[in-house]
Amino acid sequence: MTILLPCAWCGPREATEFAHIGEVAARPDPGAVTPAQWREYLYLRANPCGWTSETWYHRMGCRRFIRVERHTETNEVRPVPAAAGARAGEPAP
Amino acid sequence: MRVGTNGRLRSPGRSTYPARYSAAGLVSRGLTNRPWPPAWRPQPMKSSYDVVIVGGGVHGLAAAYYLAANHGITDVAVLEKGYLGSGGSGRNTAILRSNYLTPEGVRFYDRSVKLYQRLATDLDYNVMFSQRGHLTLAHSDASLRTMRWRAEVNKVEGVDSEVIGPAEIKRLAPFLDVSTAARYPILGALWHPPGGIIRHDAVVWGYARGASARGVHIHQNTEVTGIEVAGGRVRGVATSNGDIATPVVLNATAGWSTLISDMAGVTMPVMTYPLQAAVTEPVKPFLATVIVSGTLHVYISQTDRGELVFGASVDPFTSYSMRGSLEFIEGLAGHVLELMPALTKVRLLRQWSGLCDMTPDFSPIMGPTPVQGFFVDVGWGTYGFKAGPVSGEAMAKCIASGATPEIIAAFGLERFGEGALVGEKGAAAVGH
């Protein structure tokens, strides 16, 4: 099954060109968290069965990071919702 | 039905359920055409149970069996959303071994292999365990060093493992290309004689039969839709066939373990990846051992029917989809031929995939959780089947005694908060 990911620089490209980085998680300030909170950030995952927001790395293309929304059961990919103020495949911060 | 002190069934009479399996019984029923009774009985669902186990695979059924056999807790329900063994228990490549890297891992899987060795007797069910030996190939100096490390840890723990060279490998598996001209030359291997393969469905059915005979209720086609928690304690579960009140829930699912834990409000350090496998048409027996190559992401064994079973590492991204992919089968075929060029004309029969719950340290998550009465036996990654018996035994003890048994003490959920990970990536990532 071919999965196309919308790269902001290269257009739709096959998922085999990308490395999967994983679901988007907000990194806490390393100087302000307890070790337990830091480990939660490191290890705990939502791992939803459904739509998830995640980062991919275009390792065989432009070698930049992009953000996409993917349904983890159907592997359908959709643009990041406009409400979030982002375009499809917008580069990850 | 009487149960002996060692948990085994005592020879039931002619009409007793379940029928005792024996050679004499086979001949007698063959001659008289008398049908075998079902291996386990469907029961009406009660409104409450002492223990509810979510997941009717080898882990859930083994836990139910040992709760009844070892601890006399028989008011147990096993809930399975599909049919028994329809998840990881029926999708794995049925390889057993105990040659892990950490002392905790080696001890744990060694106990599992020992339970598997006597499982056919304990359950009165032929599980077709074939201890044919297990070869993990090393294609680089670095992996050869890891093999040596594993062999020494294994020997300290009393597990039979040794590093062998190409000549010995060629003797054990003549079809392997051990020439130095290979793209990934075989420099050596970790030889693990107690490893082998087993009939995975038979293990599931045997445990189901043993548990059912001791009074455990098995409910198939019953999906858990919610877990009721009040005051930090489990009160019951909601299912597609009605609600059940219970003080104890064991999450023994694979693939969906996050979703079940979410129902109880417990966040897991788990990511779900599909793992694909494939099987060829049957050919004459030629492969006496299990062959594993971590570098080439492949493991190969030949079933009793002659089919070659190929497994691999997990897919490159998380998903709950169980669809196969062409990229996978192309890569797998290339890697198999790299090891055994003689297989070029063998045709693939089918491919399939199962879901693997990967943890950050490639070790499982077992034991109690912050929610009272909610236990987990999850995060089994790509190595869950081989741990079925010991997990069931340990989780049964954990639930019955309320204390975490020593053998699983290192695998608790709290280790992630404490930073006390049990790193098994070196021996569990692809090594099957």
- Share of residues in chain B with pLDDT > 70 (%): 94
Q: What is the pLDDT of residue B117?
A: 96
Q: Which residue of B has its CA nearest to A36?
A: B417
Q: Which of A1, A23, A43 sits opposite B360 (nearest CB)?
A: A43
Q: Which residue of A has its CA nearest to B323?
A: A1
B322 and chain A in contact, CB less than 8 A: no
* CA distance linking residue B332 with residue B324, whole number of Å: 12
Q: What is the pLDDT of residue B4?
A: 45
pTM here is 0.91
Q: How far is B319 from chain A (nearest CA, A)?
A: 5
ipTM field: 0.89
B320 and chain A in contact, CB less than 8 A: yes
* Mean pLDDT on B343-347: 95
Q: What is the pLDDT of residue B20?
A: 83
CB-CB under 8 Å, A44 with B267:
yes
| The token pair that represents B339 in the structure block | 């090891």
Q: What is the pLDDT of residue A80?
A: 73
Query: For residue range B134-151, what is the model confidence (pLDDT) as tens digits?
Result: 999 999 999 999 999 999
Q: What is the pLDDT of residue B426?
A: 64
CB-CB under 8 Å, A19 with B271:
no
B256 and chain A in contact, CB less than 8 A: yes
Least confident of B82-91, B97-106, B154-163, B368-377: B97-106
**B14 or B342, which is more confident?**
B342
The size of the A-B interface in CB pairs under 8 A is 58
* Mean pLDDT on B78-91: 96
CB-CB under 8 Å, A72 with B320:
yes
End-to-end CA distance of chain A: 29
Q: Which of B317, B321, B416 sits opposite A20 (nearest CB)?
A: B317
Query: For residue range B156-209, what is the model confidence (pLDDT) as tens digits?
Result: 999 999 999 999 999 999 999 999 999 999 999 999 999 999 999 999 999 999
Which of B318, B355, B376 is the mutation pick for testing A, counting most A CBs within 10 A? B318
Q: Does residue A74 carry a pLDDT above 50?
A: yes
- Angle, helix B200-213 to helix B58-71, in steps of 10 degrees: 40
B295 and chain A in contact, CB less than 8 A: no
B316 and chain A in contact, CB less than 8 A: yes
* B228: β partners: B236
Q: What is the pLDDT of residue A85?
A: 43
**Residues with Cβ within 8 Å of residue B381, at least 6 apart in sequence:** B356, B357, B358, B359, B362, B364, B428
Count Cα neighbours of B181 within 13 Å in the Cβ-side half-sphere. 2
Q: How far is A74 from chain B (nearest CA, A)?
A: 6
CB-CB under 8 Å, B256 with A43:
no
A59 and chain B in contact, CB less than 8 A: no
Query: For residue range B275-318, what is the model confidence (pLDDT) as tens digits?
Result: 999 999 999 999 999 999 989 999 999 999 999 999 998 999 99
* Mean pLDDT on B228-257: 97
Asked if B308 and B284 touch (Cβ cutoff 8 Å), the reply is no
| The token pair that represents B12 in the structure block | 């039931």
Q: What is the pLDDT of residue B11?
A: 44
Touching A: B residues 182-201, CB under 8 Å = none
| The token pair that represents B357 in the structure block | 């719950």
The counts of H helices and E strands in chain A are 1, 6
* Mean pLDDT on B382-401: 96
Q: Which residues of B touch A49 (CB under 8 A)?
A: 256, 258-259, 272, 320
